[in-house]
Structure 1
Amino acid sequence: MLDPSELYEVADDLPELGRPVLVEALTGVVDAGGAVRLAGQHLLSTLEHRLVVTFDVDQLLDYRSRRPAMIFLEDHWEHYEEPVLGLYALNDSAGTAFLLLCGPEPDLQWKRFTAAVRTVMARLGIRVTVGLNAIPMAVPHTRPCGMTAHATRPGLVTGYEPWLRRVQVPGSAGHLLEYELGRDGRDAMGFAAHVPHYLSQTDYPEAAETLLTALSKATGLLLPLDELRTAAAAVRDNVNQQLEDGAEAAALVQALEEQYDAFMRGRESTNLPAATTGPLPTADELGAALERFLAEQAEPGGPPTP
């Protein structure tokens, strides 16, 4: 492995951080509803911050798979949207310092990247790392946004019931970082918001709000959430209005609600989930039908937006 220390640059005048929390919000392949991106953007737009560590994206990104945007104006290239992968120092609403690792998830050199991050963490005295994720699930938007929590030791995520038992999933650089921190005996945890899979291709700020609420509860950070709550309500109203125009789609949402409610009742007791009045469509059938309906409704003006 190439030297991890050559993969990043640290600012000369680091602020006083104490023993801060590090929030990992890398945007990769699975970011249902853009929730991780929205959460990172929200923190940077509402809190004071400065870039303290910059990673060499040329070593880490596959530009052919994720091409940065460029603007062409009449007869020349006006702007290049240069990708930035870095560590930002922020202060929460009470002035407590914490760090945010955000930008595009590395496509290449994961082991070298995680080694570099762990070296930086040791230098900056990180006490705990919290990763943010969002996954598509067969859940209705009319129910509270669910959450899957995981950690390097159970005491970090007490109070969260598991949604999954044992499952094999594609890895990510953020999950690899948490895994390696666990092997080192370091505290790290992660939260994955459950986004209705028929809305996973559009911005879903309720999931971003859910992630930051979980982050706040787990770490004590005071984070501003009003803007996300307002955006989440606007998206819900938009989707509900579209569903009012389609009886079949409304029936499909109701079927998802019945599945969700039965599952939740089953989790609260030792019995199997309560039986419903009749056979329900599968989650894939429900999701496909709702996706078709919402796509048809959104064609003139694009997908539902806040």
Structure 2
Amino acid sequence: MVLALDGFLDAGNAGALACRHLVRTGAFSTDGGGVVVATFDVDQLHDYRARRPPMTFARDHYEGYEPPRLVVRLLRDAGGTPYLLLHGSEPDIRWEAFSRGVREVVERFGVALVVSMGSVPMAVPHTRPIAITHHANNPELLTGSSPWRGELRVPSSAQALLEVRLGDWGHDAQGFVAHVPHYLAQLDYPRASVSLLEHVELAARLTIDLTDLRSEADEREEEIDRYLSANDEVRDVVTALEQQYDTFARAEQEGSSLLAEDEPLPTGEEIGRQFEQFLAGLEGPDETGGPA
């Protein structure tokens, strides 16, 4: 089952665009929507005042209300292999209940692997390859090395909690997070969607036709290049990010990372002793024998 929730982990709308492409190209029927095999009661999960659904005011009346949805669709890849797609609005509340609902879907349909997609804004240039963070609740599922060293404390999400809970229940789950240039995080960035789906293909052993999505990505890149050519300040920012990216990449290739080595932090007592020694040195005599 492929998973992507709108909200926290969706810079550049990369996950939403990827899901839209899967629904458009993987439907069993000709209606373009696939077959919905499970739905969640969004009224129990969504905070309407925090994320108000859009609707239309047409001259003198309201119409076209677009309620949030959270559904599981049955799709198939380019080779005819069936798979499930869970997508929609990330729950604002009751994450544990949501996780139990997904568990029910996984066990009812005999899902062997859950693969999630996400994206975060990063200080990286769009002119360099999309970096991907790999993660999984089973180390054997990891298909690439992590660019991170040590541990990071990050805000949680329903999608991240789901991976943890599935692991607790004995179900394999892995995912990929694309690093989207921060200056493009509010725009649709299909290039990140292409990269995510390429990794999903390998992990889930699916065949996905990415032709249309790649065309959308190329069009967006051309738009970005035209914008940069007309805005010197933004182009200077991108140039600085390119230099920073290349410096780190060069250091990694040479085996001389610019990051500090992982070392144990001193205890409070050790810091106190060092400080006392420092103070004692200040109070001692100087080299001429006089007071310091």
Q: Do Structure 1 and Structure 2 share a fold, with TM-score over 0.5?
A: yes
Worse-superposed segment, 51-60 or 25-34: 25-34
Deviation per CA, 1:179-211: give whole Å up to 9, x if none: 111223321101000100011011101011111
Deviation per CA, 1:217-246: give whole Å up to 9, x if none: 111101111111111111111111111123
Q: Report what 2:54 is aligned to.
A: 69
1:23 pairs with 2:2: yes
Q: Aligned to 1:46, which of 11, 21, 25?
A: 25
Question: Aligned Cα RMSD in Å?
Answer: 1.5
Q: TM-score, normalised to structure 2's length?
A: 0.83
1:181 pairs with 2:166: yes
> Counterpart amino acid of 1:33?
G
Stretches of structure 1 that go unaligned for 5 or more consecutive residues are 1-21, 275-306
Q: Within 5 A, what are the aligned runs for 1:147-166?
A: 147-166=132-151
Q: Within 5 A, what are the aligned runs for 1:106-121?
A: 106-121=91-106
Q: Report what 2:16 is aligned to.
A: 37
Deviation at 1:164, TM superposition (A): 4.8
Q: Within 5 A, what are the aligned runs for 1:227-266?
A: 227-266=212-251
Count residues with an aligned counterpart. Answer: 253
Cα gap change, 1:197/1:102 in structure 2, threshold over 3 Å: closer, same or farther? Answer: same
Q: TM-score, normalised to structure 1's length?
A: 0.79
Does structure 2 conserve the Cα–Cα contact (< 8 Å) formed by 1:265 and 1:273?
A: no
Does structure 1 conserve the Cα–Cα contact (< 8 Å) formed by 2:134 and 2:143?
A: no
User: Helix, strand or coil for the counterpart of 2:64?
Assistant: strand
Q: Within 5 A, what are the aligned runs for 1:191-210?
A: 191-210=176-195
Deviation per CA, 1:235-286: give whole Å up to 9, x if none: 1111111111233432321211111111122223321359xxxxxxxxxxxx
Of structures 1 and 2, the larger Rg is shown by 2
Q: Aligned to 2:111, which of 106, 118, 126?
A: 126
Q: Aligned to 1:95, which of 76, 80, 83?
A: 80
Q: For residues 41 and 158 of structure 1, what CA distance do their matches in structure 2 show? A: 25
User: Helix, strand or coil for the counterpart of 2:159?
Assistant: helix
Deviation at 1:83, TM superposition (A): 1.7
Deviation at 1:89, TM superposition (A): 0.5
> Counterpart amino acid of 1:38?
L
> Counterpart amino acid of 2:180?
V
Q: Report what 2:123 is aligned to.
A: 138
Cα gap change, 1:171/1:272 in structure 2, threshold over 3 Å: closer, same or farther? Answer: closer
Q: For residues 163 and 247 of structure 2, what CA distance do their matches in structure 1 show? A: 33
Stretches of structure 2 that go unaligned for 5 or more consecutive residues are 28-33, 260-292
Identity among equivalent positions (%) equals: 47
Q: Which aligned segments of 4 or more residues in structure 1 are displaced greater than 4 angstroms?
A: none
Q: For residues 23 and 80 of structure 2, what CA distance do their matches in structure 1 show? A: 14
Deviation at 1:82, TM superposition (A): 1.9
